Amino acid sequence: MGDRRQARELALQALFFFDMDKSDLDKSREAFCINNEEKLTKEVKPFFLHLVNGVGENRSQIDALLDKYSKNWKISRMPVVDRNIMRIAIFEFLKCSDIPCSVTINEAVEIGKKYGTGDSGSFINGVLDRIKSLEGF
């Protein structure tokens, strides 16, 4: 597995934990990093922190886009895994111009297939493709 894929998967796990725990982001992130120290190698950790911190700092903008383009789905009713995968991807759309949108979507779909339900891949693909197309990323 590549370093960026590992960073995305760890970011998903961390964001899932924060989403469920509703605790302080800084304290939770620190605890997550301590508990996953061996996985957060020097190659993985910078991108992981960029994703986690970026989603945290831009969450209201990210969730506004997610809410706008997810037809008939409120964010609170989405599966926690799916919504956090899409939050990471939307952050990449917004703030990681060095990553092509097609790569971001592909990564999100593959991670959704691995960690989500049988419908996660197509759901994630549909919402992210709609955001990419209609927002002009």
Domains by residue range for the chain, with CATH: 3-135 (1.10.940.10)
- In 3D, which of 14, 25, 46 has the Cα closest to residue 115? 14
Q: Give tens-digit pLDDT for 70-88.
A: 988 899 999 999 999 999 9
Q: What is the pTM of this model?
A: 0.95
Question: How confident is the model over 17-29, as a mean pLDDT?
Answer: 81
Mean pLDDT, rounded, of the chain:
94
Let me know: does 48 contact 41? Beta carbons within 8 Å.
Answer: no
* Relative orientation angle of helices 45-57 and 80-95, to the nearest 10 degrees: 100
Asked whether the beta carbons of 15 and 55 are under 8 A apart, the reply is yes
CA distance 115 to 6: 13
